[in-house]
């Protein structure tokens, strides 16, 4: 494996893409400080999947607040015993989801709050986006068995995925690695996991870089 040139890596992807699995595996194998999103503590999440129109705004606001507080706390303290930091989300996911779930007037208000907090958080040195087709996202969602996720529609997943692509295309000053993982299972295969590591721990210039296995 290449030497890791990054101090802060964020792993992103649509629901069911394998973000938490990959971030956890890397943290365990390389003594990295692990930041995992605390989404299961959000009381609005099960309600949102039952009635999106009613609960979208409180859900997105509460997620934004908790993500900001967690990253501010975790990134603001240096752990000298850890080699780098890896998170299974990037705070901009709040904006990506809100753009797809909120009404225009709600999103305009949300957007104002988001940009107030976004400037106070560091950007990751590398943003890794795991791309999976919707049917494979659904397979992973069914496999992990969270009851409130089982009714997520293909259209919603596709919309969120498109939101990520729109965000990625707009970035001018980030290193972004878009990895197509449709043909690999990095959790089950050690060899494929190591291929993924080789791709991630390369020194990339600013811009979007695409890898397909």
- Residues marked active site are found at 88
Q: How many CA atoms lie within 13 A of 7 on its CB side?
A: 6
- Of 146, 150, 160, the closest CA to residue 56 belongs to 160
Helix intervals (H) in 76-206 = 93-101, 104-118, 134-144, 154-170, 190-200
What is the chain's length? 213
- How many whole angstroms separate alpha carbon 79 and alpha carbon 185? 31
Q: Is 5 in a helix, a strand, or coil?
A: coil
- How many whole angstroms separate alpha carbon 96 and alpha carbon 148? 21
Q: How many CA atoms lie within 13 A of 160 on its CB side?
A: 23
- How many whole angstroms separate alpha carbon 154 and alpha carbon 176? 25
Are the C-beta atoms of 141 and 16 separated by less than 8 Å?
yes
């Amino acid at each position: 494996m290449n030497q890791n040139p990054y101090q802060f890596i964020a792993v992103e992807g649509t629901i069911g893409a394998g973000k938490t699995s990959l971030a956890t595996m890397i943290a365990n194998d390389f003594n990295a400080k692990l930041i995992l999103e605390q989404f299961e503590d959000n009381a609005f999440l099960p309600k949102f999947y039952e009635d999106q129109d009613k609960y979208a705004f409180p859900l997105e606001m509460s997620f934004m607040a908790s993500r900001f507080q967690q990253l501010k706390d975790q990134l603001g303290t240096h752990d000298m015993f850890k080699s780098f930091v890896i998170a299974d989300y990037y705070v901009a996911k709040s904006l990506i989801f809100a753009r797809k779930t909120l009404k225009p007037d709600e999103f305009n208000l949300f957007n104002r709050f988001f940009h107030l907090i976004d400037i106070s958080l560091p950007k990751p040195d590398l943003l890794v986006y795991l791309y999976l087709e919707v049917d494979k996202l659904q397979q992973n969602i069914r496999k992990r068995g969270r009851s409130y996720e089982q009714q997520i529609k293909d259209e919603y997943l596709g919309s969120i995925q498109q939101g990520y692509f729109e965000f990625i295309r707009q970035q001018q000053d980030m290193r972004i690695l878009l990895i197509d993982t449709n043909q690999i299972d990095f959790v089950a295969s050690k060899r494929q996991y190591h291929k993924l590591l080789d791709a991630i721990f390369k020194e990339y210039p600013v811009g979007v870089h695409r890898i397909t296995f």
